[in-house]
């Protein structure tokens, strides 16, 4: 283990390490803690210039109440859900299939198709922007959740295929061979042999894609507009226009917008980290 395990060192070192941890953590999260403080302050604090002192009066969740009941925030949150969930499902379906095809079979185009997915996954969004927008308009899906979901599913398939294919490669191939010897159809092998083994990968992928899509801003502003379709990342700019210079509300709004992926992360932490590293590190 590196660095030297702390428990092998002197008592003094151990104590100072334990003491240092929270200090470093607070410094690391300082910008975020500041926003949390803002979000529970009353408006009068900002008028009187009391930015960093203790709140004048404790507002508790009053600011959050305002965010939920006096703005379009709930609508935007709901849109984010309507965009994120179908995307996650679509990606899982498509990439489990492509991953299976590329991970199990040997055929000439295999590596080329795989590289196509990998390369496409890295291209800058801007080179897709004009044609994808046109395509979406032509399909009559501009400013619809559907149009945005379709693009997200397509684009994320690149990353998901990379992930799934590498995962399937690491599975014991003997299982598949054994099934073949039994004369089981290929699609049944996919369904009954490989898919059950992919559960951890699918879980990891679901959390990752959820986070990516929830946090997407660029495509949201290119393909949608207004509170009927836009997700919360785009909504927050609109929210900020409504409450410009109302820091207490803007910060409460920001925290609300950030909460779902954070919750997802804490609930599915194991899968999340597994996903980040397993999918990426071959």
Partner 1 sequence: MHSIIKTSFAAIVAAGITATSAQADAHALSGDLVIFSDMSNPAPRAVMEGMVERFGEMHPELNIELTVIDREAYKTQIRNFLTADAPDVANWYAANRMLPYVEAGLFEDVSDMWEGQMSEELASTKGAMTIDGKQYGVPYTYYQWGVYYRKDLMEQFGLSEPTTWEEEKANCQTYLDNGIKCYTIGTKFLWTAGGWFDYLNMRTNGYDYHAALTAGQEKWDSEKTRATFANWRELIDMGAFIDNHQTYSWQEAMPFMVNGEAASYLMGNFSVAAFREGGLDDSKLDFYQFPEITAGIPKGEDAPTDTFHIPSGAKNKENAKAFLEFVVSADNQTLINNGENLGQLPVNALSSVDDDKFLNEGFAMLSNDAPGGIAQFFDRDAPAEMAAVAMEGFQEFMLFPDNLDDILARLDAAAVDIYAE
Partner 2 sequence: MTNTTVSDFEGPKRSWYKRNEIAVTPYLFLIPGVFFFAVYVIFPVFQSFNISLYKWDGLGEAEYVGLTNYQKLLDDRAFEVSLWNNLKWLVLYLLAIPAGLMISLFLNQKVVGIRLYKSLFFFPFVISQIVVGLVFSWFYDPTFGIFTKVIGWVGLEIKGGVLGNPTAVTYGIIAAGLWPQTAYCMILYLTGLNAVDPEQVEAARLDGAKGWKMLWYVIIPQLKPATFIAFVVTIVGALRSFDLISIMTRGGPFGQSRVLSYYMFEKALSEYGFRMGYGAAIAVVLFLIMLVFIAYFLWSMYQEEKGAR
Binders of partner 1 in range 107-136 (CB under 8 A) = 133, 136
DSSP H or E stretch at residue 70: none
The 3-state secondary structure of 185-221 reads CHHHHHHHHHHHHCHHHHHHHHHHHHHHHHCCCHHHH
- The reply to whether 225 sits near partner 1 by the rule CB under 8 A is yes
Query: What phi, psi does 29 have (nearest 5°)?
Result: -95, 10
Site string for partner 1, 13-42 (x = CB under 8 A): ------------------------------
Four-CA torsion 250, 210, 123, 144, nearest 10 degrees: -70
d(CA 155, CA 120): 8
DSSP 205-268: HHHHHHHHHHT--HHHHHH--STTT--HHHHHHHHHHHTTT-HHHHHHHHHHHHHHHHHHHHHT
Residues 145-184 that bind partner 1 (CB under 8 A): 145
Between CA 113 and CA 157 the distance in angstroms is 12
Q: Check binding of 245 to partner 1 (CB under 8 A).
A: yes
CB 97 to partner 1: min, Å: 30
CB-wise, 73 or 222, nearer to partner 2? Answer: 222
Using CB atoms within 10 A of its CB, is residue 245 exposed (0-12), middle (13-18) or buried (19+)? Answer: exposed
Q: Which is nearer to partner 1, 221 or 274 (CB)?
A: 221
| 147 scored as a contact of partner 2 (CB under 8 A) | no
202 binds, among partner 2, partner 1, none (CB under 5 to 8 A by kind): none
Select from 55-63, 65-73, 198-206, 266-274 the region that touches partner 2 (CB under 8 A): 266-274
Instruction: State in angstroms the smallest separation of the CB of 7 from partner 2.
Output: 7
Pick out residues in 198-217 that bind partner 1 (CB under 8 A): none
- 3-class secondary-structure state, position 174: helix
224 binds partner 2 (CB under 8 A): no
Does 179 interact with partner 2 (rule: CB under 8 A)? no
Quote the least distance from Cβ 63 to partner 1, whole Å.
Answer: 16
Cα dihedral across residues 270, 275, 278, 281: positive or negative? negative
Question: Contact with partner 2 (CB under 8 A): which of 16, 44, 57, 277?
Answer: 277
Is 125 among the residues that bind partner 2 (CB under 8 A)? yes
Within residues 4-63, the interface with partner 2 by CB under 8 A covers 5-7, 14, 17-18, 21, 24-25, 28-32, 34-35, 38, 49, 51-52
Q: Is 230 in the site for partner 2 (CB under 8 A)?
A: no
């Amino acid at each position: 283990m590196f660095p030297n395990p702390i428990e092998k060192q002197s008592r003094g070192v151990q104590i100072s390490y334990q003491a240092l941890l929270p200090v470093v953590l607070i410094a690391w999260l300082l910008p975020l803690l500041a926003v949390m403080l803002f979000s529970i302050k009353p408006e009068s604090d900002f008028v009187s210039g009391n930015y960093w002192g203790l709140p004048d009066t404790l507002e508790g969740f009053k600011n959050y109440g305002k965010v939920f009941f006096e703005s379009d925030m709930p609508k935007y949150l709901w849109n984010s859900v309507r965009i994120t969930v179908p995307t996650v499902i679509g990606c899982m379906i498509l990439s489990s299939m492509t991953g299976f095809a590329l991970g199990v079979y040997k055929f000439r185009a295999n590596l080329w198709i795989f590289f196509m997915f990998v390369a496409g996954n890295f291209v800058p969004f801007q080179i897709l922007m004009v044609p994808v927008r046109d395509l979406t308009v032509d399909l009559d899906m501009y400013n619809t959740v559907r149009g945005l979901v379709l693009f997200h599913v397509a684009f994320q398939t690149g990353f998901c295929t990379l992930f799934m294919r590498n995962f399937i490669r690491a599975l014991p191939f003997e299982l598949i061979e054994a099934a073949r010897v039994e004369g089981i159809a290929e699609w049944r092998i996919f369904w009954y042999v490989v898919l059950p083994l992919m559960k951890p990968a699918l879980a990891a992928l679901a959390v990752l894609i959820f986070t990516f899509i929830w946090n997407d801003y660029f495509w949201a502003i290119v393909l949608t507009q207004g509170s009927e379709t836009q997700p919360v990342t785009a909504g927050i700019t609109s929210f900020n226009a409504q409450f410009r210079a109302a820091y207490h509300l803007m910060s409460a709004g920001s925290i609300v917008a950030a909460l779902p992926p954070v919750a997802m992360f804490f609930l599915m932490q194991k899968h999340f980290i597994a996903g980040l590293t397993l999918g990426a590190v071959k």
